[in-house]
Structures are given as structure tokens and as C-alpha cells.
Amino acid sequence: MRIEDKEGKYSIILDSAVKVFAEFGVENSTVSKIAAKAGVADGTIYLYFKNKKDILIKFADDRGEKIFRKFEEAVNSGKDSKEKLFNLIYSHIENFSKNKDLAVVYQCELSKIHGCQPKIRELSIRYRQMLKDIFLLGQSEGRVSKNVDLDFIKDLVSGSINEIINTYIVKENKNIDILEASGKLVDFIFKGLG
Amino acid sequence: MRIEDKEGKYSIILDSAVKVFAEFGVENSTVSKIAAKAGVADGTIYLYFKNKKDILIKFADDRGEKIFRKFEEAVNSGKDSKEKLFNLIYSHIENFSKNKDLAVVYQCELSKIHGCQPKIRELSIRYRQMLKDIFLLGQSEGRVSKNVDLDFIKDLVSGSINEIINTYIVKENKNIDILEASGKLVDFIFKGLG
Amino acid sequence: MRIEDKEGKYSIILDSAVKVFAEFGVENSTVSKIAAKAGVADGTIYLYFKNKKDILIKFADDRGEKIFRKFEEAVNSGKDSKEKLFNLIYSHIENFSKNKDLAVVYQCELSKIHGCQPKIRELSIRYRQMLKDIFLLGQSEGRVSKNVDLDFIKDLVSGSINEIINTYIVKENKNIDILEASGKLVDFIFKGLG
Amino acid sequence: MRIEDKEGKYSIILDSAVKVFAEFGVENSTVSKIAAKAGVADGTIYLYFKNKKDILIKFADDRGEKIFRKFEEAVNSGKDSKEKLFNLIYSHIENFSKNKDLAVVYQCELSKIHGCQPKIRELSIRYRQMLKDIFLLGQSEGRVSKNVDLDFIKDLVSGSINEIINTYIVKENKNIDILEASGKLVDFIFKGLG
DNA sequence: TATGAATGAGTATTCATTCAT
DNA sequence: AATGAATGAATACTCATTCAT
């Protein structure tokens, strides 16, 4: 059996777990359900994960890190602060729209699991630092007033984006015009910061 | 036994439950822990609540409604849209600051419990309608541009307020200057909507 | 409060218990249900009965004894063995028809309760002795063959009567022509014993 | 693990349950007691049975059906109505004598459990139909009078047999001369029907 | 590696019984 | 005598985890 098979089964279980978590909630998800969804025996789970909670921790670590890289790429590909913010928001909404199970687990389930909190907290801090950097750039571009408290503002913006995800993807499960939503949000923010 | 004693025991159990839920999370909270914290026998819980889930439902119904009344009073006591929004945000932060256990349970735990969702959803809708009404008033006052999509904006604002609660009360457990935070938030929002 | 009031409340509880036992079965009958049906507080039960099982024991003792007296009277009023048997069977079916709750509890519930068994066993023995005495009389009358094993036969007859009660009153809840049924049964038995 | 092992454990639990039910009564039998008697963990019970009641239902279905097959074979192997009835009664007493636990549970416990009643009722109906068929054959043979009400008589006979089981096996726990008892019973019945 | 039968600790809930009023 | 709120022991059932195969 090749190494990629191990990675493969590890991934299959992780993906299955997310689907199960999203459908039933973490607490109503049993190891058996995850194993069944992954097409492996219950015991096999324990060859790849220490225990049930470890699945969530690994999910937060792996999938969280992966999606965060995409956010960073999106930001890097923007030529100025406004485009960077737009790209970030667009990437965020798009990625979570494409994978609603992941969105549900991220927004609702993960934050409560004790072992997951370090990674979640780290990602949250990095996310907000990204926002702060964008707005610092905006200040140097003259787009953002030097009077605003960026530490405070980055939280507001982070909350706004979160709410969009929560409202349109997690709760309402609506199809959203990502381009339009991202545009409106960026306009609102930059106007507020001008 | 006086009437207030019965109400008293019901309240004592509810308060104890909130503390336990906040400390351990709903799923790691046992009926025994709640009973012990309330200083009653396990069986006594069932004289006042149908079952464990019912405690959360009653909590959402009773405490949620009570706190929402305060929000409405705060809004009503404002003379114009800006003051109304300020009062709402101030009241929101203040009330959740005073009772962090309640904040934790509201923000993190309640939304996932199925039986609670009707009330949570109702409160969420009423909250956002309050915001929309404030901004409609703002439009008639000439303070808010008629071009903005109020349904979209109210979500952003709701998300921003939520994030303040989450960041400063639930996660960081910081003491926050409520007056300053409310002021900054209102300024940012009205500037963005101008 | 007069003495008969005590007897009265004792009786009311006993009657209520039988109704509850018949409706729910002994094991699904709670002291609370019995108290509610009797219109007294739960605690009041314990002023008249030692505990829940004691209700059943007292029921077996009191009601069993009472109904058994009627059977004896019925037998005594018959002028010969055939009439005595007819009267017994008629009285048995009639009394259990009139009070189906009592029939249900007697036939189905009581025999399993450990504390009740002494009385139940005693009544069963007395019942079968009554039958044996009738058949002994029948032998002296020349109506019953001297060759039959009366100890065995009395059991058969007892079982037959039981089955009539079970089939027509407890299970099927049918209205039965008591006169006809008693007649047929007596005829069958005496023919078999001739 | 061989197939018979699975069947084996299922059977072991069922047998253990019957013993426990017979000793303590269904309501005083705990799942733990059954598991201990079977030499398995409590949880193992639930790998083979849906819940506690399901054990009784399966018992009624499996053991009831099995024993009933023996009754049918016994009847079929008789060459005329009298021999058929004799064989049935003999088989009935013999089988219940050999397994008194089963007899106790069948006669006393099973009839009250709601989920068991369909099977119990079915078996009871089939049993009495068997009796009726025997007596119909007896009529065609000229052994049984055409005047008797067979629907009534089959109940009497069923009750008589039941009483033999109850009296000698369940209650008195006596050793009984099966050959003699069956013979007497058949004689009595056919004489009564002549 | 992979399996899945077996385990048994953990928990919500019920209800007979008590006792202060 | 009567009440009924409070008690807490008892028990069915779940499910994460293990381990012999």
C-alpha cells in the first residue's frame, strides 16, 4: 500500500466526518456514522485519529489551514487595498458557498469544541491581522482615514463578513450573487472608513 | 411556601443551568451538575422542566424575551435614528457584559439546540427588523442614503454588533469601554450609510 | 370525622387503584395516578396503605374475600350438586361481568405480585375445594361416577371457568349470555363426569 | 467467528432472559441481570435486541413458534381425533414440563407485554383452531355429538389444558405423570362431547 | 492494516416514599 | 388528617474505544 493511500483514507475519513458533522451536528455524530459514510470499519478510524475529538482538531488544522492559504493568495493577488479586500471577501464567500458542509461545521460546530479552539483562535487572529494589514495599506494609499481605530474596525469587518456567511449560506442556504455581495460590502466598508 | 419561592426555585435552576452551560458547554453539562449548582436534588429539576432540553428552551424564551424588551426600550428612548442605534448597541453590549454566562450561552450554545431555534430565529428576525426600522427612519431623516440595500446592510450591522460581543465578551473576556465602543460603531455605520 | 369516613377514603383509594391497575396494568400504574383518580394527595395514600404493593395485597384480601363470600352463598343456595355448580358458575361470570376492572386485575395482574400470592393461592385452593365438595355431593347423588379422580377434575373445571372469564370478559370484552354459558358449561361437565 | 456463534450468543441471551424473567418476573428483571446471567456486558444485549421489550417479543416469536410446530407435529401424527387430542395434550405438558422457565414466562408474563400480544394472540387463535379441527374430525368420525357448540367447547378445553399447566407446572412445581394426566383429560373431554 | 464484536462507563429520567407545613 | 414539594435510588440505553482475529 502506497503512502498516498494512507493520506487518501485519512482524507476520506475527514471529508466524511465533515459531512456527518454538518448533517447531524457534532454531538449527534457518532464514530459509527462517520465510519459508515467513509466506507471503513469503526476501528479503522482509530488508526488515523487518536479519538473522536481528534477528528475535529485535525479538521480545524488541515482544512482551516488549506482554506486560509487561499485567502492569503486572494489578498496577495489584489493590487491595492480595495481590491485586496474585495478578493478576500469574494474568496471567502465563494469557498464557503462551494462547500456548505465545511461552512456549517466551521461557523457553528467547531468553536465549541475545546481542543479546536487553539487553531480556531489562531485562524481568527490571522484573519483579522490580514484585514488590519489591508486597512494599513489603505491608510498609506490615502483611502482610509488615519483617525479610525483599525483594531476596532477590523473586528467589525470580520463580523460583517461572518454574518454574510451565516445568513446566506448556513442559515438561509440561499444562492447568493457573490460578485454583487462582495462589491456592496467593500463599498460600504470603504465608505465608512473614508 | 410563598409564591415567590416557587418562582424562585424555577429561577434558581435556570440561573444555575446557564452557569453550568457557560462553563462546560451544553453537551458536557449534566442534569446532576445543574442540580448540584442549584442546590436541589436531580429529580427536582423535573418538577420545573420537562427535560434537559426544556431548560434551554425556557431559557431562550424567558431570558431572551426579557433582554429583548430592554433593547426595544432602548430604541424607543432614542430621539432620532442615530441615537436609537447608539442606545440599542449600548444596551446590547451593557446587558451582555453584565451577564457573561448568558452571553456565552446565547452566542454559542443556544443556536444549535433544535427546540430553541424557533425562539432564537424569532428574536433574530425581530432584532434585524429593529435595525431596518432604524435605518428607514434614518432615510426619512436624510441621514442614510436612499441608494443602500437596507436588507443587506442590516445583516452587516447585526454581524458587527455580534462580533463585538463575541470578541470582547465571549472570547477575550475583556473589560470594554461600552460608551466608546458604541460610539465608534455607530459613527462607522452611519458614515458608511451616508 | 366519623369512622366510616376513614373506611370511606380507604375504599375510595382501593376502588381507584383497581380502575388504574385495570387501565394501565400494575407496572404502569403510579401512586400519583391512583391518588389523582381518588381525589387525594399522593401522601394521603400512605396514611391508609404501607406502600404501593400493600394496595394490591389489601385489594386481594378485601375484594377477593368479599367476592368469594358471594360464591359461597351461591353454592349454598343450590339444592343439589348440579344446581350448586350452575349457581357458582353463574355467580362467577355475573360478578366479573359487572366489574370488568376487577376481573382484569384478578386474572392478569394480581398473580404476579409476590405479596399477593398467599391470598390468591388461598382463594384458589378454597375455590377448588368448593368444586370438589360439589362433585363429592354429586357422587353421593349418583350423578358423578365414582371412578373419576376428583382432584384432577376440579382443576379442569376451574380452568374451564377461568377460560370463559378470560375469553369473554377480559380479552374479547363481549357481552355474554350468562344463563346460556353457565348452562352449557354445567351440562358439558356433568356429562363428562357421568 | 462462526455463524453458529452469533446464533449462539443470541440464543444464550434469550435463554438467560427467560431464566431471569421466570425468577424475578419481567418487571423486576433488569437488563444488567440478564447480561450477567448470559455472561456478557450490558451493552452487548443491544447488539442482538432493540431494547428490553424486544427480548420478550423475540422470545414470543421464536420460542413460541418453535414449540407450536411441535404441537402441530404431535397432532399430525395422531391417526384419529382422540389420538390427535391426546398427542397434543401430551406434547403440551411434556414440553412445558421440560422447560419450566419457559412455561412460567409464557403463562404469566408474556400476555401483558404490549408488543408481545400480537404473537401471543396469534398462537392462542391457532391453538384453539387446532382444537376445533380435532373436534370437527371427531364429529365426522361419529365420536363427537353434532349438537355441541364447538366454538364454546374449544375454549373450555383450552382452559382445562392451561389449568393443568398452571397448577402442576407453574404453581405447584410438581412432577406429574404426563401419560396419566393426558389420558384422563382426553377421556373426560370425549365423554363430555359424546 | 483492517475489522467489527464486545465492552462498560456515563446519564437522563422516573417514581415510590418522606416530611415539613 | 391531609398535603404535595422534594428527594434520590434505580435503570434502560448509548457510544467512544479496544482488541482478538
What is the tens place of the pLDDT at every residue in A11-52?
999 999 999 999 998 889 999 999 999 999 999 999 999 999
pLDDT value at position B1? Answer: 37
Q: Give B157's contacts in chain A (Cβ within 8 Å).
A: 160
Half-sphere CA count of B31, side-chain side, radius 13 A:
15
DSSP A67-110: HHHHHHHHHHT-SSHHHHHHHHHHHHHHHHHH-HHHHHIIIIIG
AA letter at D13: I
**A183 in Cβ contact with A86 (< 8 Å):** yes
How far, CA to CA in Å, does B124 sit from each of A159, B127, B158? 16, 5, 9
Q: Is the pLDDT of residue C1 over 50?
A: no
pLDDT value at position C7? Answer: 62
**pLDDT tens per residue across span C9-50:** 999 999 999 999 999 988 899 999 999 999 999 999 999 999
Integer distance in angstroms from CA C64 to C1' E19? 34
Averaged pLDDT score across all residues of chain B: 89
Return the residue of B nearest to A105 by Cα: B112
Give strand F nucleotides closer than 7 A to any protein Cβ.
1-20
Q: Give C157's contacts in chain D (Cβ within 8 Å).
A: 160
DSSP structure class, residue B40: S
Integer distance in angstroms from CA B47 to C1' F5? 9
Averaged pLDDT score across all residues of chain D: 89
Write the residue in A149, A188, A193 that is nearest to B156 by C-beta.
A188
Give strand E nucleotides closer than 7 A to any protein Cβ.
1-20
Q: How many CB pairs under 8 A join A and B?
A: 81
pLDDT value at position C119? Answer: 87
Q: Is the pLDDT of residue C101 over 70?
A: yes
Q: Which of A36-40, A170-174, B99-103, D81-85 has the lowest mean pLDDT?
A: A170-174
Tell how many helices (H) and how many strands (E) occur in chain C.
9, 0
Record: contact A181-B149, CB cut-off 8 A: no
Residue B24 Cβ under 7 A from any strand E atom: no
CA distance D93 to D86: 11
Record: contact C112-D152, CB cut-off 8 A: no
A28: which nucleotide lies closest, measuring CA to C1'?
Answer: F15
Local confidence band at D93 (pLDDT 50, 70, 90 cut-offs): very high
DSSP D111-169: GG-GGGHHHHHHHHHHHHHHHHHHHHHHHHTTSS-TTS-HHHHHHHHHHHHHHHIIIII
Q: Under 8 Å CB-to-CB from A147, ≥6 apart: which residues?
A: none
Q: Which of A150, A155, A157, A171 to mutate to test the interface with B (most CBs of B within 10 A)?
A: A155
Q: Under 8 Å CB-to-CB from C118, ≥6 apart: which residues?
A: none
Q: Give C114's contacts in chain D (Cβ within 8 Å).
A: 25
Question: How many degrees, rounded to 5, is the angle at CA D87 between CA D181 and CA D174?
Answer: 30
pLDDT value at position C12? Answer: 96
pLDDT value at position D7? Answer: 60
CB proximity A180 to B under 8 Å: no
Q: Which residue is closest, via its CA, to the C1' of F18?
A: A43
pTM value is: 0.90
**A21 in Cβ contact with A105 (< 8 Å):** yes
**pLDDT tens per residue across span C81-93:** 999 999 999 999 9
**A72 in Cβ contact with A130 (< 8 Å):** yes
CB proximity D130 to C under 8 Å: no
Total Cβ atoms within 10 A of residue A163? 22
AA letter at B120: I
Q: Which of residues 46-85 of B touch strand F (CB under 7 A)?
A: 46-47
CA distance D131 to C160: 14
Instruction: Return per-residue pLDDT of chain B as tens, 194 residues.
Output: 333 444 689 999 999 999 999 999 888 999 999 999 999 999 999 999 999 999 999 998 988 999 999 999 999 999 999 999 999 999 999 999 988 888 888 888 887 777 788 888 899 999 999 999 999 999 999 999 998 889 888 988 999 998 888 888 777 777 789 999 999 999 989 988 87
In terms of pLDDT, which residue wins out, C176 or A4? C176
**D22 in Cβ contact with D101 (< 8 Å):** yes
Distance between terminal CA atoms of chain A? 59
Q: Which residue is closest, via its CA, to the C1' of E11?
A: B30
CB proximity A109 to B under 8 Å: yes
pLDDT value at position D141? Answer: 95
Return the residue of D nearest to C107 by Cα: D108
**C159 in Cβ contact with D162 (< 8 Å):** yes
CB proximity A25 to B under 8 Å: yes
pLDDT value at position D86? Answer: 97
Record: contact B188-A184, CB cut-off 8 A: no
CB proximity A164 to B under 8 Å: yes
Averaged pLDDT score across all residues of chain C: 89
Q: Give D25's contacts in chain C (Cβ within 8 Å).
A: 112, 114
Local confidence band at A4 (pLDDT 50, 70, 90 cut-offs): very low
Q: Which residue is closest, via its CA, to the C1' of E6?
A: D44
Total Cβ atoms within 10 A of residue A190? 18
Q: Give A161's contacts in chain B (Cβ within 8 Å).
A: 159
Distance between terminal CA atoms of chain D? 59
Integer distance in angstroms from CA D25 to C1' F11? 16
Write the residue in A25, A159, A189 that is nearest to B162 by C-beta.
A159
Average pLDDT over residues D28-41: 96
Write the residue in D149, D159, D191 that is nearest to C191 by C-beta.
D191
Residue A61's Cα: distance from chain center in Å? Answer: 11
Q: Is the pLDDT of residue D121 over 70?
A: yes
Of A158, A107, A106, give the one whose Cα is nearest residue A132.
Answer: A158
Local confidence band at A7 (pLDDT 50, 70, 90 cut-offs): low
- With a pLDDT cut of 70, the percent of chain A lying above it is 96
- The shortest C-alpha distance from C160 to chain D (Å) reads 5
Q: Which of B189-193, C53-57, C138-142 has the lowest mean pLDDT?
A: B189-193
